[in-house]
Chain A
Amino acid sequence: MTPSVDGEIRWFSEHGLYDGLFLMRDRESGTFWDHLTGEAVYGPEVGTRLEVAPLRQTRVRQLIAEDSDAMIALSDRGGLRSDDQMKTEGLLRGVRGRLNRFFAGTIEEEDTRRPTMDLGLGVWGGERAVYFPYDVVVTTDNAILTEYDGRGILVYLDPTAQALTAIFTDADGVRWEDDVLHLSDGSRIEEGVVYDAAGERAEVERPLQVFTRWYGFSLTFDDVAIHGEEG
């Protein structure tokens, strides 16, 4: 996300809750902002939206394979959750959980098509936001090739990152060979890195996406489509 309005940098922190999700506030104008879409929701900047860009979840091994010059910022603060809790396995343990009542108190009505704490990949930025449930991806051999906003899109469970990821692609078929995902256009994805048909590292284009709980995604976007379900 780009933290500037009309070229002026704003400084943000989480300041509130709405629909069970945090709201940011910038200290310069006091405006409250949706922390997923970057849209101003209450305050002087309503009508403004911060520029958003894809944020990926992966693991150190994969990023080093992808970009050996990658940099990291370390905090001297431990997290509220452990590394194990932040892994997909840890997040999946919460799928049957409930939202605590403080968060739930900011929700008017949930979308009950999926369980509240269901885990999946939300893709947006096109005409309609689409949710790819984790269990649907897994039961589709860990890879779904479909269309999003008129373009081919691949949603897959990356074996290295153990997280759902989406990329745009022109391929019309995929197959796994061990942990390598081969695409029908001759490209392949290995340890999270995309190689073209010539074996060269390829640039990929990614849609806006978030690995998320169902309640958060469905309450943020209107009329969310669920992959694999009618409507």
Chain B
Amino acid sequence: MTRSIPLTLLGAFLFTAGAPQLASAQLGMPPSIPVDPTMPVKEGFDVERAYLGRAPLFQPMYNPEWIPLREARSRGAVDDDTPILVFEAGGRTLALVSSQMSYHHVAQGEMAGEPWMVTF
């Protein structure tokens, strides 16, 4: 299980008006960092248009504990119809619950020495 760390901004994401910089302040979201003109920028990326948060927008899921999928189903933690995200790492087939990833958005860890990351 991942640790529970409260987040504050997510509900506000859904129906908010305004330009990114203004809206972030109004919503109590992490303030944006000032653009550093000396920092490298990918060609074509308009950094002035981006919202660059000073702090994470979501709490990522780091180093989760893995259990057999069949066991999770037996426990009732998931059912046959639960949407999941599937990937391969360390020679294993691994799954994350799609709805839970709508909270974390990033999951990351290692499996059999192979680093992996899922973004959603």
Contacts and interface: CB of A to CB of B under 8 A. Distances in A.
A73 B52 contact: no
A59 B52 contact: no
Given A61-B81, A72-B95, A100-B13, A22 B87 contact: no
A207 B108 CA distance: 22
Nearest to B3: A76
B87 to A, nearest CB: 5
B82 A83 contact: yes
B107 to A, nearest CB: 7
Nearest to A87: B83
Contacts of A77: 2, 4, 59, 100, 103-104
A60 B13 CA distance: 29
A192 to B, nearest CB: 10
A23 B42 CA distance: 13
A190 B47 CA distance: 46
A154 B109 CA distance: 32
| Residue among A47, A61, A67, A74 with the highest chain B CB neighbour number at 10 A | A74
Interface residues of B, number: 80
A82 B104 CA distance: 14
Contacts of B85: 55-57
A60 B83 CA distance: 7
Given A3-B108, A83-B98, A72 B39 contact: no
Interface in B38-92: 39-42, 45-47, 49-53, 55-62, 64-70, 72-73, 77-88, 92
Interface stretch (A102-110, A144-152, A167-175): A102-110
Contacts of A82: 99
A150 B40 CA distance: 35
Contact of A32 (B46, B52, B72, B82): B52
A74 B77 contact: yes
B103 A72 contact: no
A100 B16 contact: yes
Interface string A62-83: 0110111111111111111111
Contact of B69 (A2, A14, A60, A75): A60
A78 B7 CA distance: 12
Contact of B84 (A41, A50, A57): A57
Interface of B: 1-2, 4, 10, 13-20, 23, 27, 30, 32, 39-42, 45-47, 49-53, 55-62, 64-70, 72-73, 77-88, 92-108, 110, 115-119
18 contacts: A13-B56, A16-B51, A24-B119, A42-B52, A47-B40, A47-B42, A53-B87, A60-B81, A60-B84, A73-B65, A73-B95, A76-B4, A79-B101, A83-B83, A87-B81, A100-B15, A106-B49, A108-B46
Instruction: Report, nearest first, the 10 A-B pairs whose CB atoms are least far apart.
Output: A79-B99, A73-B64, A46-B40, A61-B80, A13-B56, A3-B117, A79-B102, A71-B66, A86-B98, A18-B50
Given A13-B57, A76-B2, 13 more contacts: A16-B51, A16-B53, A41-B47, A43-B40, A55-B87, A59-B84, A61-B81, A72-B96, A74-B72, A81-B102, A101-B17, A102-B17, A105-B18
Interface of A: 1-4, 9, 11-18, 22-25, 32, 35-36, 39-44, 46-47, 50, 53-61, 63-64, 66-83, 85-87, 100-103, 105-108
